[in-house]
A and B are shown apart, each in its own frame.
Chain A
Amino acid sequence: GQQLNQSPQSMFIQEGEDVSMNCTSSSIFNTWLWYKQDPGEGPVLLIALYKAGELTSNGRLTAQFGITRKDSFLNISASIPSDVGIYFCAGLDNYGQNFVFGPGTRLSVLP
């Protein structure tokens, strides 16, 4: 089946730094979603992308739908302590029925 890879698996950054993470696959996806999960809670939707090349921002977060439709990127500018958590990407499968989730990128922000 279709699978997603996320990199890096985890990252430690200083408060105030910018962060980049990506989600890749060997398969084409038609919709990309980015979620953030705080410890012990459910994932919260950050950004949804629907067209190849689309660039969408949500406050300090910016995400892009890759031109090849096989990848997506999430950037966080000027990180703050509350950015700590696990960031998941999800892609809509070829049948347009199910979202496939990546394994997540764990972000830690050092003061």
Chain B
Amino acid sequence: EAGVTQSPTHLIKTRGQQATLRCSPISGHTSVYWYQQALGLGLQFLLWYDEGEERNRGNFPPRFSGRQFPNYSSELNVNALELEDSALYLCASSLSGGGAVQYFGPGTRLTVT
């Protein structure tokens, strides 16, 4: 069974541009979570989508947004990129509802120059 997949693996953008990151959950999982992990730091919760709806949001500015599609895949958009947005962006999926064990993808390394 395929795990969580993310694309692209690496993304290089310049300050002020927009970045779009994509995630496909494990088959049967309807919840998708996004985390930011800056170099050498822990996981900071960004967004949680379940059944197409945004269920919760971490302490990040509105220029971090996303959506979940009918097939439960998800997209994270970061507008007006800043240098400090450079990080590994991790997507995780779980069975529906909060509290279910999360399984992570390999991440997208975003570099903002």
A-to-B contact residues, CB < 8 Å: 30-31, 33, 35, 40-45, 48, 88, 90, 92, 95-99, 101-104
Contact = CB atoms under 8 A, between A and B. Distances in A.
Given A40-B109, A42-B4, A96-B99, A101 B43 contact: yes
A41 B106 CA distance: 5
A97 B107 contact: no
B2 to A, nearest CB: 14
Contacts of B8: none
Interface residues on B, range: 20 to 34
Interface of B: 4, 35, 41-43, 45, 48, 55-56, 88, 90, 92, 98-99, 101-107, 109
Contact of A42 (B48, B56, B104): B104
